[in-house]
Structure 1
């Protein structure tokens, strides 16, 4: 409560579901505080749900409101370098985000997850496994439910995905365990360089009891933290992987956890995600052994290397979220199958260079199925490449050829808006076709 002393006037910058969660939280727990909301959009989402006694300014940021506030709660999508926000900071106004308010209110254990890739899958899987182990779990943050709304669950454990943007305005979050999965170039329009970006993500370790870090990426290690450091990676050290009798196993300090061929999720990056989930749970005092059946059955987030159909030994995988080359490379990394990979690629290439895909394709038994506006750009990458007009045409032609051990994967490396409204619509269409055609495989 002392953090709220002398705070009488709060300005929330940015509406949407996060802004609404901030307004609702303050009104419920600190009803004596006056709240104003501003949003640079003319018609911000959530405006119709805002209580009528909360002032709303739209179309710009109102500097006078910001400079007279006792506290500004800024949406993570709004950079602190925004002139009006920077002016308030320079004038001594405290600027925080919704995760900081969560930290002020929360007294339960927290698992916090950040990284350039894979954090949503790890967050979701960790939450599902914790539930399978018998805990009441709140899962959200940068994925799904805003963190402040999770407090209404009175959970035993909170599992939060946190973006670098959210971490910029967070300084008081106590975590039982935090992880920084990996670092790759992203958001360079917001950061001065990779070190600036990494520094924002490393804030996740500020008040962590334990840090789970990628031993192959030194930038994921905490620089200034009292956290106990545990590592994960692709060798057999601590949380890692090990070959035993021709099978790849996830291991915990040499102890076998589960063989990767027992998992429903596919790809080496997803094996790593599964490994991290086990590591996070162990470091949080949760027995992951109680959740191994959940781990085996987990099929991933929608549109992210998600197995959407399986029949007669053929898997159909929806990775429609792969809208760039890096995502498709991740999907192909460590992919192991007994038969042929039928890989669907194409769409709107956004001027990308697809040549990086040639080497991993050469190492696979693959048939490259190209479609969409820029599908022709993939044809030179592999001798098997065939150009099709549509996804429908591809599946109609290849289904009679499918045999046990094959995989049909949509991982387009392109945007979708030449033929679909968005990548979700593209993935949903693939899923519908996969479930239809999978029944025809004998």
Structure 2
């Protein structure tokens, strides 16, 4: 009789997020019965599930779903999935891991979303907090699962939030939130750009301060009692000139020269402006902010130099999973030689034509690989089309000469050939070093 009174919770999707949900629910205790459904035959993390948590793998279990009191859905499972639609029609509550986090967190939380740059801004704000001596937890859609961090009792949380996570979040009380930018992405999940934008705009719903990008009006909150903005020429956080030099400027106060920023690229100047606004919202002191901006050099897989041999630079920008990310990598790129650009993978229904004008201005060879490589081949006159990234690298290595750059900036997701963008980037880096070792060996033997 006691079992029937238990709250039935069904977790959809395992992996890092699903495990964090299970562990969080077990830590909370209470009279609950937790079950996990994963449509994959061998879901990652299955071996880490406690023995008292049932797992249904390889498909849906509709009996479990229909009898659930609450469903906790992985961000990778769309709410439009028919099985979840049926559950919602029955009045069953469907939430995500961030909503569970929101219901239990007591410390201030900063939230960051956007099509591009959110991982960099999330990490940079975290570095600012660390420089100020704050016990900060940095995670969400990057690094640590949000629920796992709750166990560490941080004084501040900085979360990267994807549109997928925001879809199932309704009560996240943010100290400040930023929507960095909007560009076409995930068109295989959303019905159009307005649908995608609406999911991102949810970040402002419970935020005490809304920060938006003056250079991308799509990020402006539809209505908010307290909104601030950043931008290259306008906003509370902007750029001003001093002795012919650009300076980061906060609410009229010139803070530091742009040339002092360790991060490379114009897009990272905007990222610093937004990070300052977020850091100010929770009282992180200016000296710590400046220290972080002078020292923080970015994350792996984001325009990361992995090798230089015989004057050829190999750069890993595997995190470029949409066209706008690749455009950011190409912005202001200056090379003595030729650019060997590797693009392709799972295009997620995106339109790649925005790359064509920029490619036309560059001395570039375009290598198109993977499932949607053919969609890039029409952008240039003489594309190199291969099945795999490694095959493209072999050709680039053969043709590249001193002063050239081999850049992996795929403008696509990795899922056609790699588990995620990190594995893709690591594979690129490892194979570049393998190629270099082989070339060095042949030079010695010759």
Common topology (TM > 0.5): yes
Using the TM superposition, give the Cα deviation of residue 147 of structure 1 relative to its aligned residue in structure 2, in angstroms.
Answer: 0.5
2:427 to 425, 428, 436: 425
| More deviation, 250-259/38-47 | 250-259
Instruction: Work out whether residues 357 and 381 of structure 1, in 8 Å CA contact, stay in contact via their aligned partners in 2.
Output: no
Using the TM superposition, give the Cα deviation of residue 146 of structure 1 relative to its aligned residue in structure 2, in angstroms.
Answer: 0.8
Q: Secondary structure at the match of 2:143?
A: coil
Pairing 1:139–2:144 present: no
CA distance in 2, matches of 1:418, 1:75: 22
| More deviation, 352-361/12-21 | 352-361
CA distance in 2, matches of 1:34, 1:56: 12
Instruction: Work out whether residues 128 and 284 of structure 2, in 8 Å CA contact, stay in contact via their aligned partners in 1.
Output: no
- TM-score with structure 1 setting the length: 0.82
Q: Secondary structure at the match of 1:302?
A: coil
Instruction: Work out whether residues 305 and 315 of structure 2, in 8 Å CA contact, stay in contact via their aligned partners in 1.
Output: yes
RMSD of equivalent CA atoms:
3.5
Query: 2:386 maps to which residue?
Result: none
Using the TM superposition, give the Cα deviation of residue 101 of structure 1 relative to its aligned residue in structure 2, in angstroms.
Answer: 0.6
CA distance in 2, matches of 1:46, 1:282: 38
Count matched residues.
414
Using the TM superposition, give the Cα deviation of residue 250 of structure 1 relative to its aligned residue in structure 2, in angstroms.
Answer: 2.0
Change in 2 beyond 3 A, CA 1:356/1:436: farther
CA distance in 1, matches of 2:105, 2:367: 49
Using the TM superposition, give the Cα deviation of residue 136 of structure 1 relative to its aligned residue in structure 2, in angstroms.
Answer: 0.9
Using the TM superposition, give the Cα deviation of residue 24 of structure 1 relative to its aligned residue in structure 2, in angstroms.
Answer: 0.6
1:268 to 247, 266, 269: 266
Q: Secondary structure at the match of 2:199?
A: helix
Pairing 1:346–2:345 present: no
Using the TM superposition, give the Cα deviation of residue 253 of structure 1 relative to its aligned residue in structure 2, in angstroms.
Answer: 2.4
CA distance in 2, matches of 1:348, 1:295: 32
Using the TM superposition, give the Cα deviation of residue 327 of structure 1 relative to its aligned residue in structure 2, in angstroms.
Answer: 2.6
CA distance in 1, matches of 2:397, 2:144: 35
Using the TM superposition, give the Cα deviation of residue 412 of structure 1 relative to its aligned residue in structure 2, in angstroms.
Answer: 4.2
Q: Secondary structure at the match of 2:76?
A: coil
CA distance in 2, matches of 1:113, 1:414: 21
Using the TM superposition, give the Cα deviation of residue 19 of structure 1 relative to its aligned residue in structure 2, in angstroms.
Answer: 0.8
1:295 to 270, 293, 296: 293
Unaligned ranges ≥5, structure 2: 384-391, 440-446
Using the TM superposition, give the Cα deviation of residue 293 of structure 1 relative to its aligned residue in structure 2, in angstroms.
Answer: 2.5
CA distance in 2, matches of 1:418, 1:79: 22
Q: Secondary structure at the match of 1:208?
A: coil
1:267-287 deviation per Cα after TM superposition (whole angstroms, max 9, x unaligned): 111111122111110122212
Query: 2:387 maps to which residue?
Result: none
Pairing 1:50–2:49 present: yes
Using the TM superposition, give the Cα deviation of residue 243 of structure 1 relative to its aligned residue in structure 2, in angstroms.
Answer: 3.6
Within 5 Å, which residues of 2 pair with 1:302-321? 302-307=300-305, 317-321=315-319
Query: 2:220 maps to which residue?
Result: 221
1:67-98 deviation per Cα after TM superposition (whole angstroms, max 9, x unaligned): 21111111111111212211111111111111
| More deviation, 266-275/411-420 | 411-420
Q: Secondary structure at the match of 1:256?
A: strand
Instruction: Work out whether residues 356 and 380 of structure 2, in 8 Å CA contact, stay in contact via their aligned partners in 1.
Output: no
Unaligned ranges ≥5, structure 1: 1-5, 438-442
Using the TM superposition, give the Cα deviation of residue 355 of structure 1 relative to its aligned residue in structure 2, in angstroms.
Answer: 6.7
CA distance in 2, matches of 1:141, 1:378: 36
Instruction: Work out whether residues 306 and 315 of structure 2, in 8 Å CA contact, stay in contact via their aligned partners in 1.
Output: yes
CA distance in 1, matches of 2:433, 2:273: 27
Using the TM superposition, give the Cα deviation of residue 171 of structure 1 relative to its aligned residue in structure 2, in angstroms.
Answer: 0.7
CA distance in 2, matches of 1:115, 1:7: 39
CA distance in 2, matches of 1:248, 1:411: 30
Change in 2 beyond 3 A, CA 1:349/1:315: closer
Pairing 1:390–2:395 present: yes
